[in-house]
Structure 1
Amino acid sequence: MYQPIHPRSPLETMPTMYDLPSELVGESGLPDEFHCIQADLLTETCKPVGYLPEEILLASDLNLYYDPRHTQWYKRPDWYMVLGVPKANQLEELRLSYLIWQEGVTPFLIVELLSPGTEDEDLGQRLREINQPPTKWEVYERILRVPYYVVYDRYENNLRAFEISGMRYKPIAINENRFWLNEINLGLGLWQGVYQGTKGLWLRWYDQAGWILTSAECAEAERQRADRLAAYLRSQGIDPDNLPI
């Protein structure tokens, strides 16, 4: 029996994440140890209000394919947050890359960690060459219109943030190395401390109560609470190790 052939929709003909490179190809600013640790801290302390964990994608060094007309063009943000997209439930569903034409959701916030040689790309300080991909700044500002863009230069201890206003990014006022995002009821700022055994000035999230604790900090806070309780019990003549069940 004759079966009519229906043409596929444009979306069905687009490449998927399995068709496109997921590795870093020919870019400066290769991830170093700082990039990995900093991305971990951002992910561990990011708790947007109003979203379930399974509705948030927090990614670092995951290729972001942004232009369906140039399907090989991508950027690789150091860290980014996408709200309202499902997390993978199975190992085989984990994203190899993030494809705008498949996901249909633009990142809410992107963080770039400046490295020597990446300023022009990250801050749009060079002119685009003919027939070459645009800079990260152009992609985030003009193509994807990412609501918030954050740039941290650890060499200068300099934090900059931008938000979309009209057709362009405008600087966000940074007070005491912090700024607040009303949409998710969280703030982002520079914190001096030790994370994963390394002391430094780190970028991390905070809420109205203060810096959001990491799992290690939560465990330490619980240990100190238990020590205080034990000390109080001993002051009352009670052995905390022999409490009645």
Structure 2
Amino acid sequence: MSEQQLLDAEEIAIPDISQLEIEDDKPVDNFQSEKQQRLLVEPLYTNSVLTTPFVAGANVGLFYSRKQEPLVPDAFISLNVQMPADWSQKQNRSYFVWEFGKAPEVAIEIVSNRKGKELGAKKEDYARVGIAYYAVFDPLQQIQETLQMNGALLRVYALTAGKYVEIESPFWLETVGIGLTLWTGTFEEQPGLWLRWCDVKGDVIPTGKELSERERQRAEREQQRAEQEQQRAEQERLRAENEQQRATRLAERLREMGVDPDTI
């Protein structure tokens, strides 16, 4: 199914989804995956880095056919679509391609075990749906014999003529206007290696907490500069005052000697 075929929802029959199971309520992700998913979604809404409107989500069903099981990417981005407002409606609680009128541009899978087939059947499914970019991140080194042939823990693919072609680092997603990078640091008090969005220069897109910390540090620097300026001003005032006192004492001594300081 090509993306062009999905563009106009009015031209395709809307499937009956009343019998579809869209939420299984099964907590199957590990802590690392859960945090990683959040790290891939929150910064996109905290920063103005994507063309609006857009929808970014994690662990949400991607339904592309009523007769096929949904794909459930660990994170995804879909540009030029609006998040449905009424979540009480079943068709608004998952990503139904026929409702949004298009497939997402980006899908990301975070490997947590050896059963996901991220580089096999799942990769083929994403290509068939028309996902422009597909990334596989293996932080727990579950599929090293497949993924780490060249020492990489991250593989990124671009859809070309209906097939995925691997792209090399730096992983810049041209048609989306954002990139992916590996980052070593601490997120939510957990140190480790994380997959993050980045700008064209490779700088990571900050989280809300990181932005707050940057703003706090900036405010502290501004406060320090203001205090330094105040100290310099006070020093200048004292210097000028000392100069004035010295001049006054000198004038008094000259007068005591019978010399008018104003004539000198």
TM-score of the pair, normalised by structure 2: 0.70
Query: Which structure 1 segments of 5+ residues have no match?
Result: 1-8, 125-134, 239-245
User: Closer, same or farther in 2 for the Cα pair 1:42/1:10, shift >3 Å?
Assistant: closer
Does the aligned pair in 1 maintain the 2:172–2:200 contact within 8 Å? no
Does the residue aligned with 2:230 lie in a helix, a strand or coil?
A: coil
CA RMSD in angstroms comes to 2.7
Identity of aligned residues (%): 29
Report the alpha carbon displacement of residue 23 of structure 1 after superposing the two structures with TM.
2.6
Does the aligned pair in 2 maintain the 1:48–1:185 contact within 8 Å? no
Verify: 1:15 aligned to 2:16, yes or no.
Answer: yes
In structure 1, the partner of 2:60 is 62
User: Closer, same or farther in 2 for the Cα pair 1:199/1:88, shift >3 Å?
Assistant: same
Equivalents in 1 of 2:220, 2:166: separation in Å? 46
Mark the structure with the bigger radius of gyration.
2
Does the residue aligned with 1:85 lie in a helix, a strand or coil?
A: coil
Does the residue aligned with 1:21 lie in a helix, a strand or coil?
A: coil
Report the alpha carbon displacement of residue 48 of structure 1 after superposing the two structures with TM.
7.1
In structure 2, the partner of 1:188 is 180
Verify: 1:77 aligned to 2:73, yes or no.
Answer: yes
Does the aligned pair in 2 maintain the 1:65–1:74 contact within 8 Å? yes
User: Closer, same or farther in 2 for the Cα pair 1:151/1:50, shift >3 Å?
Assistant: closer
Matches within 5 A, 1:87-166: 87-92=83-88, 95-119=92-116, 121-124=117-120, 135-142=121-128, 144-156=129-141, 158-166=153-161
Does the residue aligned with 1:137 lie in a helix, a strand or coil?
A: helix
Equivalents in 1 of 2:193, 2:210: separation in Å? 17
Does the aligned pair in 2 maintain the 1:49–1:184 contact within 8 Å? no
Does the residue aligned with 1:74 lie in a helix, a strand or coil?
A: coil
Report the alpha carbon displacement of residue 98 of structure 1 after superposing the two structures with TM.
1.5
Instruction: Name whichever structure is richer in helix by fraction.
Output: 2
Equivalents in 2 of 1:48, 1:179: separation in Å? 20
Instruction: Name whichever structure is richer in strand by fraction.
Output: 1
User: Closer, same or farther in 2 for the Cα pair 1:10/1:141, shift >3 Å?
Assistant: closer
In structure 2, the partner of 1:130 is none
Report the alpha carbon displacement of residue 24 of structure 1 after superposing the two structures with TM.
4.1
